[in-house]
Amino acid sequence: MSTTPATPAPDADWWRQAAVYQIYPRSFADANGDGIGDLKGITSRVPYLKQLGIDAVWLSPFYPSALADGGYDVDDYRDVDPKLGTLEDFDEMSAALHEAGIRVIVDIVPNHTSDRHEWFKEALASPKGSAARERYIFRDGQGADGELPPNDWTSIFGGGAWERVTEPDGTPGQWYFHLFAMEQPDLNWDNPEVHEDFKKTLRFWSDRGVDGFRVDVAHGLKKDMDAAHDDLETIHRADLFSLGEHPLWDRDEVHSIYAGWREIFNEYTPPRTAVAEAWVHADRRAKYASPEGLGQAFNFDLLQADFDAGQYREIIATNLAEAAATGASSTWVFSNHDVVRHATRYGLPKGGGHIGVGQDGRDWLLRGGDPAEVDVELGLRRAKAATALMLALPGSAYLYQGEELGLQEVGEIPDSERQDPTFFRNPGIEVGRDGCRVPLPWEQEGTSFGFGSGGSHLPQPAWFGRYAASVQEADAGSTLAFYRRALALRHELQGAERLTWHESADDDVLHFERPGGWHVVANFGDAPVNLPEGDLLLVSAEAEEGKLPAGATAWIRSQG
């Protein structure tokens, strides 16, 4: 068999098989030494990103924000937080990335603004029933004096979903709705003014040359606020999800918003892309990913899976079939800024009772396992095997900053230093998401391991130095070297979005083939297995006597 030549995807299709690297800007690189990562810091690391071999970066929010929710509380969608830089810094960063052949995706947060947004300030200063209040979800309270919330729905971050305001005349007044933190009032997507403003934002960034958008909480914008007011459990009822009947999530009406956005995306050449963050039932994901909608939607299935061949196979097959049916390409992801890093997840004792279970019962949102109980070596080994498998799949792959260093979740953050609202709203239950947001170690030594000269806004543990990029750059056997090699080889794989399964005698082994005689074998079991004939291009753990060890993935190109 001969090798399929590397044919670069036509411009408009660049996203279909892109490797996208997520940057959490506050924690990436700090150029001015104030302890907070910034845009100039990102610019300074463009050579690193280029060498890594990614196709695009996705930047978590860098907009002005009080950081009540890590920047997902946006004060102004069309500006840069002065703590992170200026619009000029953005343009400079974006030019440097483009120059290096890397596309730029920004995060759009349409479900809620921050409580410091000028609209919200205006709403508070305006009377009940005013146009300013109509941009949000204000309701009168229950009880004799409206002292009780309009209903008992709870916030995703814990606690009630309503907050009472003080009216301009100083009296206790109406309540506003917030799915997330109270600093994140939900917008009213039944109001045309809200639609217009977001279109303006999409054009603002598209005109600046942004290539695509990641749409935060894409399944949350449309709500039936009059439904089932007496049902505390409503917000957690998964069965309503699958039917599209949940009052707050994944309502069919939401797609008309994205149809309007698509028209804007298509005004540009190449069309701007979008990917939905939509935690919906797998059957309902296709609508978000449709070419008339956002075009792609995150598939979080592997992220939620155990390290298990059967689960992986089922998930891969289902999602590829779904992508083929809609014309989108699938999206694969193991780590992001909301979940425990996969190198740690895969090293946690299965079902370990020490793990804080997500408030909504989704225990894959493992929050802060006791670091003493993590099998770091096993976790990293499996994470690399999983990543090698992911990077060989058709579709786009999303990587989260630091995973290329094999970084573990930071469990040992003192309570006094925690920042995530999920920690504060769930005392004693959740430790929050700070553990995956600790600033990156670039150097082995120094106060903040090369992150910046002025310390780090979240404490870095002593062991971070071992994972430093500079250490790994000098080591051909490092996790970083492995990621670089996999990403470089991946470019040769970007032929047809096809995959053929080879049945394996061993249930713990997955084997598939991509065009050009590329074989991918992943060993989820405990014993070494034989590898097919051919050139060993990549292996996530040292092959032993021609065999693929436990917890490892290999890429092989068959000769002929």
| 32 contributes a contact to Ca ion by CB under 5 A | yes
Measured distance between the N- and C-terminal CA atoms of the chain, rounded to whole angstroms: 4
| 440 contributes a contact to Ca ion by CB under 5 A | no
- In a 13 Å sphere around the CA of 12, the CA atoms on its Cβ side amount to 10
The catalytically annotated residue of 224, 267, 415, 535 is 267
The first and second tokens of residue 2, run together, are 């001969």
| 34 contributes a contact to Ca ion by CB under 5 A | yes
| 163 contributes a contact to Ca ion by CB under 5 A | no
| 30 contributes a contact to Ca ion by CB under 5 A | yes
Active site residue 216: yes
> Are the C-beta atoms of 441 and 376 separated by less than 8 Å?
no
Near Ca ion by CB under 5 A, which window of 37-45, 345-353, 484-492, 551-559? 37-45
> Are the C-beta atoms of 552 and 510 separated by less than 8 Å?
no
| 115 contributes a contact to ligand GLC by CB under 6 A | no
Choosing from 30, 38, 186, 216, the residue that interacts with ligand GLC (CB under 6 A) is: 216
Pick from ligand GLC, Ca ion, none: which does 38 bind, CB < 5 to 8 A by kind?
Answer: Ca ion
| 338 contributes a contact to ligand GLC by CB under 6 A | yes
Residue number with the smallest Cβ distance to ligand GLC: 72
Q: Give CA–CA dist 517/557, Å, rounded.
A: 6
Pick from ligand GLC, Ca ion, none: which does 34 bind, CB < 5 to 8 A by kind?
Answer: Ca ion
By DSSP bridging, strand 331-333 and strand 518-523 are unpaired
Pick from Ca ion, ligand GLC, none: which does 217 bind, CB < 5 to 8 A by kind?
Answer: ligand GLC
| 434 contributes a contact to ligand GLC by CB under 6 A | no
| Interface characters, 277-296, with ligand GLC (x: CB under 6 A) | x-------------------
Alpha carbon of 100 to those of 29, 46, 76, 384, 541: distances in Å?
18, 7, 29, 26, 30
Torsion angle (degrees, nearest 10) of CA 384, 388, 391, 397: -20
Strand ranges, E, within 436-551: 500-501, 509-514, 518-523, 529-530, 535-539, 547-548
Who's near 353: CB < 8 A, 6+ residues apart?
Answer: none
Question: Smaller CB distance to ligand GLC: residue 163 or 338?
Answer: 338
| 72 contributes a contact to ligand GLC by CB under 6 A | yes
By DSSP bridging, strand 56-59 and strand 396-400 are unpaired
**Closest separation in Å from C-beta 420 to ligand GLC:** 8
Residue in the block written with tokens 């009406």 = 253
> Are the C-beta atoms of 501 and 512 separated by less than 8 Å?
yes
> Are the C-beta atoms of 15 and 396 separated by less than 8 Å?
yes
Pick from ligand GLC, Ca ion, none: which does 109 bind, CB < 5 to 8 A by kind?
Answer: ligand GLC
Interaction with ligand GLC in 464-523: which residues (CB under 6 A)?
A: none
Neighbours of 232 (CB within 10 A): 11
Pick from Ca ion, ligand GLC, none: which does 322 bind, CB < 5 to 8 A by kind?
Answer: none
| 216 contributes a contact to Ca ion by CB under 5 A | no
> Are the C-beta atoms of 338 and 379 separated by less than 8 Å?
no
Q: What pairs with residue 73 in β-bridges?
A: none
**Closest separation in Å from C-beta 168 to ligand GLC:** 28
**Closest separation in Å from C-beta 216 to ligand GLC:** 5
Closest CA to 121 of 168, 71, 172: 168
Q: In the chain, what are the helix, strand and coil shares in percent, each to the nearest 5?
A: 30, 15, 55
**Closest separation in Å from C-beta 452 to Ca ion:** 6
Number of residues that bind ligand GLC (CB under 6 A): 10
The first and second tokens of residue 326, run together, are 């809609």
Choosing from 14, 90, 180, 249, the residue that interacts with ligand GLC (CB under 6 A) is: 180
| 217 contributes a contact to ligand GLC by CB under 6 A | yes
Pick from Ca ion, ligand GLC, none: which does 338 bind, CB < 5 to 8 A by kind?
Answer: ligand GLC
**Closest separation in Å from C-beta 156 to ligand GLC:** 8
Near Ca ion by CB under 5 A, which window of 36-44, 129-137, 174-182, 226-234? 36-44
The catalytically annotated residue of 75, 81, 216, 301 is 216
Question: Smaller CB distance to Ca ion: residue 155 or 401?
Answer: 401
Q: What pairs with residue 297 in β-bridges?
A: 276
**Closest separation in Å from C-beta 470 to Ca ion:** 20
Question: Smaller CB distance to ligand GLC: residue 402 or 517?
Answer: 402
Interaction with ligand GLC in 41-70: which residues (CB under 6 A)?
A: 69-70
Question: Smaller CB distance to ligand GLC: residue 55 or 277?
Answer: 277
Q: What is the DSSP code (8-state) at residue 543?
A: -
The distance from CA 145 to its chain's CA centroid, rounded to whole angstroms, is: 42
Sheet arrangement for strand 518-523: 500-501, 509-514, 518-523, 552-557, 535-539
| 163 contributes a contact to ligand GLC by CB under 6 A | no
Task: For CA atoms 457, 463, 465, 467, give the dihedral sign.
Answer: negative
Near Ca ion by CB under 5 A, which window of 34-42, 160-168, 358-366, 464-472? 34-42
- In a 13 Å sphere around the CA of 116, the CA atoms on its Cβ side amount to 15
**Which positions lie near Ca ion, rule CB under 5 A?**
30, 32, 34, 36, 38
**Which positions lie near ligand GLC, rule CB under 6 A?**
69-70, 72, 109, 180, 216-217, 277, 337-338
Catalytic residues: 216, 267
